[in-house]
Amino acid sequence: MHIGLFVKDFAIGKKFSKDGLPTKSGAEFHAENHAKQLIKRGHKVSIFAKKRYWFTKSRENIECIDLVRLHAPFRWLEIICRLLTTHRDVDAFYIIGTPKFAVWAIIMAKLFHKPVTLALTANVELFDKNANWRNRILASCDQYIATSHEIGRGYCDKTGISKSKVTVLPHGLDMDKYPMPSEEMKIHNKINKLGDGTMPVIIFCARIVEDKGIGVLLKSWPIVHAKHPEAKLIVVGGGKFDLIQEMKEMSINNDNSAAIVGEVDMPQMYYQLGDIYLFPSRHEALPTSLIEAMSSGLVPVTCDIGGCEDVVFDGKTGFRLPVDDYKAFADKINYLIEHPNERKIMANNAHELMKEYCDYSVVINKLENIVLGNNFE
């Protein structure tokens, strides 16, 4: 089957600004990963996205993905022409996010009686179907995907779309890339990287910006260190220079107990060392780094927000806490350090939940059925 995937922007691999902040959106990551997984299953995937720079090709094949870059200001016309000529064999339409040009894909899908699915990855993408003609077309898709239950509720409450058309489906994860190490392997990893196989290791992996709850990290870690000086904090991610400097100063003032390693291509190497995942972000749908960490057997301590409610169950797979409550974060981290057996049980629960809910073997099967109009054989 030939699937047309529509997303606002698209680039292969990780992309970062000079400040170390990712310039590639979550929608782009999901588009790339879903396209590759669908291709593995024998489908042809064409991605339609904006042409941002004059030097990029209008059409090229990248890692078996047929990439079509649409020219401004007539992207709508190019979509129509493509779908009538070079891409007239597209069997199903899959839209991630709400790019303006996607409405023309929906119109063409309706005209030729082909299934069209819209997936939203963030609350900010929710729309009022009565606001304008574009939104009314967005509200006419056959099926809708929400990456979290919070977004799923938003579809029904804000857009007025029937609950029967909405499926909550996480974006998924290749769990083979994020294995849970055995206890022996974790000790071995800690000895190799840190020189001590017994120290509790807390991982933070996200952009270093205010919305990721950096204030909570800066205030909670000194409390944890005062009670457990043997513990180590590893901070993975790029971000704002002043916040990184503040974090380094915090580490110096606490016996260099925090390591700030910057942005990395493979956070797995740090997940393999970790016991606890500190994630005090204030706004999220279902964050990729969270499911990566849980797949790797880390116990998450998060804010009670967004998609965290879908996978972090208090006392079973982790803890959800009030936003910005740094004392509560410190208390739960200390609790997990002091109760290693309970922590191991929660780590196993978190890993098993990811296998059942987020592994590509589960997610892509469901995605196929939804995108292809539930007629995939």
Query: Mind listing the pLDDT tens digit for each residue in 1-40?
Result: 999 999 998 876 555 454 544 556 778 888 999 999 999 9
Q: Look at residue 15 in the predicted model and tell me its pLDDT.
A: 52
Same domain, 135 and 203: no
Asked if residue 297 has pLDDT above 60, the reply is: yes
Helix segments in the chain, DSSP class H: 26-40, 75-84, 102-111, 133-138, 149-154, 183-194, 214-227, 241-253, 268-271, 288-295, 308-311, 326-338, 340-357, 360-371
Same domain, 23 and 35: yes
Query: Mind listing the pLDDT tens digit for each residue in 242-294?
Result: 999 999 999 999 999 999 999 888 899 999 999 999 999 998 888 899 999 99
Q: Look at residue 13 in the predicted model and tell me its pLDDT.
A: 56
Q: What is the CA radius of gyration of the chain?
A: 22
Query: Mind listing the pLDDT tens digit for each residue in 103-151?
Result: 999 999 999 999 999 999 888 788 888 889 999 999 999 999 999 999 9
Greater model confidence, 56 or 87: 87
Query: Mind listing the pLDDT tens digit for each residue in 308-333?
Result: 999 999 999 999 999 999 999 999 99
**Residue whose pair of structure tokens reads 């933070």 in the numeric block:** 204
Q: Look at residue 312 in the predicted model and tell me its pLDDT.
A: 97
Same domain, 321 and 350: yes
Domain holding 110: CATH number? 3.40.50.2000
The residues pairing with 185 across neighbouring beta strands, listed in sequence order, are: none
Stated pTM of the model:
0.91
Same domain, 129 and 28: yes
Q: What mean pLDDT is reported for the chain?
A: 92
- Do the domain assignments include residue 157? yes
CA distance linking residue 151 with residue 222, whole number of Å: 35
- Do the domain assignments include residue 377? no
- Do the domain assignments include residue 376? no
What is the torsional sign of CA 225, 228, 230, 234? Answer: negative
Same domain, 199 and 132: no
Same domain, 20 and 156: yes
Same domain, 49 and 94: yes
- Do the domain assignments include residue 43? yes
- Do the domain assignments include residue 35? yes
Same domain, 263 and 308: yes
How many domains are there within the chain?
2
Q: Look at residue 310 in the predicted model and tell me its pLDDT.
A: 96
- Which one, of 278, 299, 339, lies nearest residue 180 by Cα? 299
**Residue whose pair of structure tokens reads 């208090």 in the numeric block:** 314
- Do the domain assignments include residue 54? yes
The residues pairing with 96 across neighbouring beta strands, listed in sequence order, are: 7, 119
Backbone angles phi, psi at 74, to 5 degrees: -115, 45
Same domain, 198 and 302: yes
Give the DSSP letter string of 201-247.
EEEEES-BSGGGTHHHHHHHHHHHHHH-TT-EEEEE--B-HHHHHHH
170, 174, 178, 180: CA torsion to nearest 10: 80
Q: Look at residue 52 in the predicted model and tell me its pLDDT.
A: 82
Q: Look at residue 24 in the predicted model and tell me its pLDDT.
A: 63
Q: Look at residue 108 in the predicted model and tell me its pLDDT.
A: 96
Same domain, 149 and 182: no
Query: Mind listing the pLDDT tens digit for each residue in 336-350?
Result: 999 999 999 999 999
Same domain, 101 and 184: no
Q: Look at residue 308 in the predicted model and tell me its pLDDT.
A: 95
Tokens representing 31? 């588009």
Same domain, 168 and 255: no
**What band does 75 get if pLDDT is binned at 50, 70 and 90?**
very high
- Do the domain assignments include residue 265? yes
Buried b (16+ CB within 10 A) or exposed e, 204-243: bbbbbbeebbbebbbbbbbbbbeebeebbbbbbbbbbeeb
Contact (Cβ atoms closer than 8 angstroms) between residue 94 and residue 113? no
Q: Which residue range(s) make up the domain with 42?
A: 2-172+359-371
What percent of the chain lies above the pLDDT cut of 90? 80
